[in-house]
Chain A
Amino acid sequence: DGGITQSPKYLFRKEGQNVTLSCEQNLNHDAMYWYRQDPGQGLRLIYYSQIVNDFQKGDIAEGYSVSREKKESFPLTVTSAQKNPTAFYLCASEDRLGNQPQHFGDGTRLSIL
């Protein structure tokens, strides 16, 4: 079955460390997205990519970086510059034509030790 896989489900980070969250999709979608969810807030867009080797900042890109070397993969790195990284991170993908709604992964919960 096609879908989006995020790993790991839970991730712990020491202060000052970079950490990379994985997102893989086998839906043949061109567009991929990273969102962050905090309690009481909607999903906020961190980065998105509409095509391989291209990505754009979303609303809250500071302290994050991404790469899109393959269509299937869109890893998110939470850098030490992100001052408040504890959150739930969701990856999504979408048919570039926009005819289908976004598909989401099951998320990664990142916590600071």
Chain B
Amino acid sequence: DQQVKQNSPSLSVQEGRISILNCDYTNSMFDYFLWYKKYPAEGPTFLISISSIKDKNEDGRFTVFLNKSAKHLSLHIVPSQPGDSAVYFCAASVDNYGQNFVFGPGTRLSVLP
């Protein structure tokens, strides 16, 4: 049973609009969450993180929202750009150590010009 779910395998958004990628988790002990972005034939790169003491973290065009009671987080990209087209992975952990991260299956975002 997947502990971290990304229920939308793919998402298409028009350039300039907002992209919203969702992630749900089942383990209430998860305390630290990350988003990674992955281009084809490359490894994932870190995008943004949030710990459970916050409900929002912003970095430029990227904002992550955390709703602990709903066990849900989302990544907002505003405005979306064609270069944002990639697979986005959500990851969760009970701490900040890599061996404990659980990754979601990813959502493929396509930003259309």
Q: Which residues of A contact B (CB under 8 A)?
A: 4, 6, 9, 31, 33, 35, 40-45, 48, 50, 56, 58, 90-92, 94, 98-99, 101-107
Contacts and interface: CB of A to CB of B under 8 A. Distances in A.
Nearest to B87: A37
28 contacts: A6-B43, A31-B97, A31-B99, A33-B98, A35-B103, A40-B9, A42-B2, A42-B4, A42-B91, A42-B102, A42-B104, A42-B105, A42-B106, A43-B44, A43-B89, A50-B99, A90-B44, A91-B43, A92-B43, A92-B98, A94-B97, A94-B98, A101-B46, A101-B49, A104-B43, A104-B45, A106-B41, A106-B42
Q: Is the interface of A mostly helix, strand, loop or mixed?
A: strand
Given A90-B43, A102-B46, A104-B43, 13 more contacts: A40-B9, A41-B105, A42-B89, A42-B91, A43-B44, A44-B103, A48-B99, A50-B99, A91-B43, A92-B98, A98-B96, A102-B98, A106-B43
Contacts of A58: 99
Contacts of A101: 34, 46, 49
Contacts of A56: 99
B95 interface: yes
Contacts of A33: 98-99
In the complex, which of the residues B36, B42, B43 has the most CB atoms of chain A within 10 Å of its own CB atom?
B43
Nearest to A96: B97
